[in-house]
Structure 1
Amino acid sequence: MCNLEELENSIDYHFKDKNLLLTALTHKSYKNHQNNERLEFLGDAVLDLLVGEFLYHKFPKNQEGDLSKMRAALVNEQSFTSFAQAINLQNFIRISHNEESNLGREKSSILSSAFEALIGAVYLESGIKIAKKITYKILEELYPKIDTQSLFIDYKTALQEITQARFNEIPHYELLEEIGPDHCKKFKISLLIQGQEYARAIGTSKKNAQQNCAKIAYQKIIEQEKI
């Protein structure tokens, strides 16, 4: 596990109680230690409020129905996984050796839960104002031009359109691995363009994993074009 100060620097907040931070980073598979499930419960409620407030002020002309749809697009496992990855949270989570072997640091369920727990821990120690500052900063970084289109974009379709225009071919999705038991299976997918891997991701279904891959690849191509 990396130096926790790196994580604290990335969110511009340093915990007074380091044990509280460690608890937020501890998955239930990490035996003989208090895990982050209670903090996850708290953080989920805090994030639901903060994202709702963010959208309320960001879109003063939108009606309740639109705001609810946008919040649903942001307050979910996939979105919180992106939040976690934005601060490299995967490098700091404490998981068991078995989870490590099963690519636990890439699992959306573990990443999103850890992010919720982290925000819950910040709220518990320093209140809503600091939790808001951290959450808003990540939202602004991930969605610099947030609108309904950017939230509801079908990345598979968008990527196919952009690769056909630029590379004269469509992306190829390759199943790398099926992880976990049948009742809780995850799928690891690789995305290739012209034989080159542009992304790999895990999802709760093949379709979900492909969408996750497509989002990564789409954003990568857009960023490359800006250089």
Structure 2
Amino acid sequence: MELSSSLTPFSKKLSDISFSSSLSPFPLQLYPQTSKPKNLRVLAVAVGPSQELPRNSPQRLLKELAHRKKATAPRKKVPPKRFILKPPLDDKKLTERFLNSPQLSLKQFPLLSSCLPSSKLNTADNTWIDEYLLEAKQALGYPLEKSDELGDDNPAKQFDTLLYLAFQHPSCDRTNARHVRSAHSRLWFLGQYVLELALAEFFLQRYPRESPGPMRERVFGLIGKRNLPNWIKAASLQNLIFPYDDMDKLIRKDREPPVKSVFWALFGAIYLCFGMPEVYHVLFEVFGMEPEAEDCQPRLRRQLEDVDYVSVEFEGNKLSWQDVATYKPPQDALFAHPRLFRACVPPGMHRFRGNIWDYDSKPQVMQILGYPLAVNDRIPEITEARNIELGLGLQLCFMHPSKYKFEHPRFCFERLEYVGQKIQDLVMAERLLMKHLDAPGRWLQEKHRRVLMNKFCGRYLREKYMHRFIIYSEQVQDAYENNRRLRNPATTAVQQALHGLSYTVYGKPDVRRLMFEVFDFEQIQPKSV
């Protein structure tokens, strides 16, 4: 090996220079110049083979380690197919896919159409239908004939398809098919709010003096996820959900999620095809739910004495589920849901007619909300009576519990808030289903939660400056005046109570009007900085 280097001239003697190396000694040849050189050239030659590093040398150990790493390095894993990006469909194929989708086949029933699968059922789907659907229909008490034979104007024509999708929970074999997985998740997304609203209306009419707190406990006792396997077993549907396992031997985390998913989706399908009365029939007749069962009773708590009257139809009479399911309002009824209105607005509210709020605040509130709506009544007195009751209901919506609740427990917005919260959830769910045809249920659930988050609900009310009409007690008024965190839950409750009132007086279309036209629930909220 030959080394050459150029050095700048220096004053030391050449004899004072020494070189040390771990290699074998090598001769050094220097060529001094008589004249003062500009560059000094050094040549070095190594003779003999290079010695191996000692066994314990750190350099040797590092070399061996690097060599071993090269030999044992794992091969690169190929990503799963679902993570590989595919080229987007061209416009023609995308148009064909949407036009051929069953979701666009029913113009008469847009909500039902939006819950159908995104593509037609294939051979594997029809195989499950042929093998198991009759068993499911027999357990639920439905006729065994195919629903396809019904007329196009009957929503029950799609019942076989929706019933099949309801049983395809995320742990079953068919969940790998995109159209099955997405359609099932959309059904359970709708079904959970259907159940909540159905039981809220039932308990509000069955217990006209009870506050919403115990009612929520009753609902949870009936349809809480811990009790759902019992209802599935009572209807003998467990073999359709767990065809290869014994449901009783599964641990809770393996048993409850599939059961909950199927239970919710089942009621989503029933609601779409047969309506709310059939939901009550399946809940209490097929699954055998008992409102007076011990395990769904609310915990004991101190009750405020209720000295006020209830409507005549509730006095000394506990309504059964048949009374609620089969009730049809009379032809000249004041409201869309008269009995539910009577259950939420006590008759004693008439004592507040003509007070300061009635003269000062009610006209402003009605102007903001667009009330009263134009209704073609046969008798003018009906319109006048409805508007009077609507004004009393509005005053109740703005009546905070701190004002009269301790002396008159039902003179506050709590019961209207309860039904309003449930109808608000259902209306928003229906809106999202029809608006996002290709979205799975979990995405819709997240979107639903973000839009209806409590702070946003109260925020819409405050944007209309309607929070200044809320009736507080003097003590609470002083505490809330400069404390936004205390005030916001009250505005949220008033917002939901307004939806409950509009549902009982004018029906679900007016709830949609309030949510999406008056308060504009779908407005894009700015991100918090």
TM-score when normalising by structure 1: 0.59
Once the two structures are superposed, the pairs formed by residues 20-59 of structure 1 within 5 Å of their partners are 20-31=393-404, 32=407, 34-59=411-436
Instruction: Report the secondary structure of 1:29's partner residue.
Output: helix
Shift of 1:77: 1.4
- CA distances 1:85-114 after superposition (whole Å, capped 9, x unpaired): 133220111111111101259411100001
Shift of 1:21: 1.2
Q: Is 1:116–2:496 an aligned residue pair?
A: yes
Aligned length: 149
Once the two structures are superposed, the pairs formed by residues 7-18 of structure 1 within 5 Å of their partners are 7-14=365-372, 16=387, 17=389, 18=391
Q: Point out which structure has higher relative CO (alpha carbons under 8 A, 6+ apart).
A: 1
- CA distances 1:127-184 after superposition (whole Å, capped 9, x unpaired): 11111111111453x544x5xxx5xx7512xxxxxxxxxxxxxxxxxxxxxxxxxxxx
Q: Partners in 2 of 1:139 and 1:25 — Cα distance?
A: 17
Once the two structures are superposed, the pairs formed by residues 71-86 of structure 1 within 5 Å of their partners are 71-86=448-463
Instruction: Report the secondary structure of 1:5's partner residue.
Output: helix
Shift of 1:72: 0.6
In the alignment, what sits opposite 1:132?
A: 512
CA contact (8 A) 1:26 1:94 kept: yes
User: As a proportion of its length, which structure holds more helix?
Assistant: 1
Where does structure 1 lack aligned partners over 5 or more consecutive residues?
157-227
User: As a proportion of its length, which structure holds more strand?
Assistant: 1
**Aligned mate of 2:468, from 88, 91, 96:** 91
Identify which range, 93-102 or 79-88, moves more after superposition: 79-88
CA contact (8 A) 1:7 1:87 kept: no
- CA distances 1:18-40 after superposition (whole Å, capped 9, x unpaired): 21111111110012550010000
Larger Rg: 2
Amino acid at match of 1:119: H
**Identity rate, percent:** 17
Once the two structures are superposed, the pairs formed by residues 138-157 of structure 1 within 5 Å of their partners are 138=518, 140=520, 143-144=522-523, 146=524, 154-156=527-529
Instruction: Report the secondary structure of 2:371's partner residue.
Output: coil
After the TM superposition, which segments of 4 or more aligned residues of structure 1 sit over 6 Å from their partners? none
Where does structure 2 lack aligned partners over 5 or more consecutive residues?
1-356, 373-385
Call closer, same or farther: CA 1:49–1:72 in 2, change over 3 Å.
same
Instruction: Report the secondary structure of 2:476's partner residue.
Output: helix
TM-score when normalising by structure 2: 0.27
